[in-house]
Structure 1
């Protein structure tokens, strides 16, 4: 079933369900948790003001139905949004699990915003234009030309870019979600991680606008074949094709495949497969129905010890310890 409501009505439901906010960290009154309205499903939204001009939001929601909200034009701040699970359709552009959206400031056009009726796990960061400009190295605190598109007046439509979450980004995202600290240590940890992600996104923005960057040397047909290669890898994570076989399947030579894959997706073919195997294993550990040896074999690891080493390297915990500690909901 699909529920269609106005953006204001959607916000009103959240407000009515949270007359009294909750504080998971009693020492931090800028770290607030909001329960999801029972009419919509189960879950929470945790919002943290890290400093003036920088906010982190972590949401874990399970929606009963697909939800469409209808809104009007509105002012928009700088923002990035990572979907670890779930997805959203805004206009004609979907953002799905394994992708991110990077948005500049300006005017966000009104219209339909469609939340898929499934589990959503997201990390969202809002940044004021002033905060971003504070990193500029010139006396006037002006962004360099290749980044000025990120800040637009509210009379202009904002900039947005949908990209693929790299394995390096995934590691940082899980370091945010599984923060073991409280108080000042927690805030320092989170601020360092959200800025690390922002740095990665800014690097990509600069590279996309550098005509001398190798990315621009790839023809459209080659980029399409590289995306096809990525889909084949995701379909065969338990038994991925060799590099030579993958190149043959998508009609590229192995050198072009290796070079192009790294330029488009920010990582090697091997690292991409390893990262997604381990992400699949992490999700299976959350479900809790399979033992660790079975999960290791399912995601393509014949040796559970090798699986444990790789898992710890990516997520900072052994699979056994991760299963004990898993807490994505409050």
Structure 2
């Protein structure tokens, strides 16, 4: 079954849920920087944690499972600047899929109405790093506070349209996101540790933005036909996780030469063809291990890891650890 709600009704449900907010750090109202509230129970089960790190920087952690597929009718609103890292789950904006292994870069500005769809297939787990434009200017701006040309698209006034795009989350970004969820500290030590991790993610994201916009100036944009073939190549890879074609075989199937396929794939997804496949397999395996009652060997076979020993070593690594950034109640 699918539930459809308006943006206004959706926000009202969250306002009601926030009445149950629990502050985890101090009784002093002025020092309540770490809070947690229940996800609206009419829609699903889980928790939302909000952590104010310093003036202008905050973290949000979403961990929930929907009762039914959800469609949210959008309306125009002012979009704050921030970065969203999708660790688990699946949803779409205006039928553009957003999935685990991707991150969303949002510049500030007016966000036009869009229809958001969320799906019940998997538990939803996402980390947001939000910041005010002044923070970015303090780190990256010149003496006058002006940002480099490569970053100016991230800061718009409420009258200007916002700028957003999807990117591929690198293994280093994923590792830092997991460390945020598994932070072992409490009190002020926790706040310092989480702020350092948020700034690391910000640094990596800014570096990626600068590289991306530098490439756009130096690399000719792909023709529409070539772009379609690049996406078709990815579709073929993901349909054949257990036995993907060779690079030459994939190039033949999508009717591109190997050089164009390699260059175009890296230009669109920010990684190599088989680097993308490897990271996708890891993420699918992690989701299966968390969501299904399957043995490690069965998961390895399902996602195409022929070397069981190699997969077992990955399983024992940190990225497979059960997240602990949200209390256990959210995982039931």
Q: TM-score range by the shorter chain?
A: 0.7 to 0.9
Match of 2:283 in 1: 279
> CA shift at 1:74, angstroms?
3.0
Aligned pairs (5 A) from 1:163-242? 163-210=167-214, 215-216=219-220, 218-242=222-246
Q: Determine whether 1:126 maps to 2:130.
A: yes
Higher RCO (C-alpha 8 Å, min separation 6): 2
What do residues 73-108 of structure 1 show as CA deviations (whole Å, max 9, x unaligned)? Answer: 433321222333334444565534443322211223
The whole-number CA distance in structure 1 between the counterparts of 2:209 and 2:119 is 32
Assess, with a 3 A threshold, how the Cα gap between structure 1 residues 230 and 30 changes in structure 2: closer, same or farther. Answer: same
The whole-number CA distance in structure 1 between the counterparts of 2:45 and 2:23 is 18
Q: What secondary structure, in the 3-state scheme, does the structure 1 residue paired with 2:86 have?
A: strand
What do residues 141-172 of structure 1 show as CA deviations (whole Å, max 9, x unaligned)? Answer: 21012322221111222222233434443333
Unaligned runs of 5+ in 1: none
> CA shift at 1:134, angstroms?
0.6
Residue of 63, 67, 76 corresponding to 2:66: 63
Q: Determine whether 1:95 maps to 2:95.
A: no
The whole-number CA distance in structure 1 between the counterparts of 2:136 and 2:206 is 10
Match of 1:115 in 2: 117
Q: Is the 8 A contact 1:62 1:117 kept in 2?
A: no
Match of 1:148 in 2: 152
The whole-number CA distance in structure 1 between the counterparts of 2:292 and 2:92 is 30
Assess, with a 3 A threshold, how the Cα gap between structure 1 residues 266 and 63 changes in structure 2: closer, same or farther. Answer: same
Unaligned runs of 5+ in 2: none
Residue of 286, 294, 315 corresponding to 2:298: 294
Range with greater deviation from structure 2 (271-280 or 5-14): 5-14
Q: Is the 8 A contact 2:26 2:32 kept in 1?
A: yes
Aligned pairs (5 A) from 1:288-327? 288-312=292-316, 316=318, 322=321
The whole-number CA distance in structure 1 between the counterparts of 2:188 and 2:245 is 47
Assess, with a 3 A threshold, how the Cα gap between structure 1 residues 188 and 274 changes in structure 2: closer, same or farther. Answer: farther
The whole-number CA distance in structure 2 between the counterparts of 1:218 and 1:86 is 30
> CA shift at 1:236, angstroms?
1.5
Assess, with a 3 A threshold, how the Cα gap between structure 1 residues 40 and 176 changes in structure 2: closer, same or farther. Answer: same
How big is the alpha-carbon RMSD for the aligned residues of Structure 1 and Structure 2? 3.1
Residue of 269, 273, 283 corresponding to 1:265: 269
The whole-number CA distance in structure 1 between the counterparts of 2:171 and 2:232 is 18
Match of 2:260 in 1: 256
TM (norm. structure 2) is 0.83
Assess, with a 3 A threshold, how the Cα gap between structure 1 residues 301 and 117 changes in structure 2: closer, same or farther. Answer: closer
Match of 1:84 in 2: 87
Q: What secondary structure, in the 3-state scheme, does the structure 1 residue paired with 2:37 have?
A: strand
Assess, with a 3 A threshold, how the Cα gap between structure 1 residues 17 and 154 changes in structure 2: closer, same or farther. Answer: closer
Number of residue pairs the alignment of both structures matches: 324
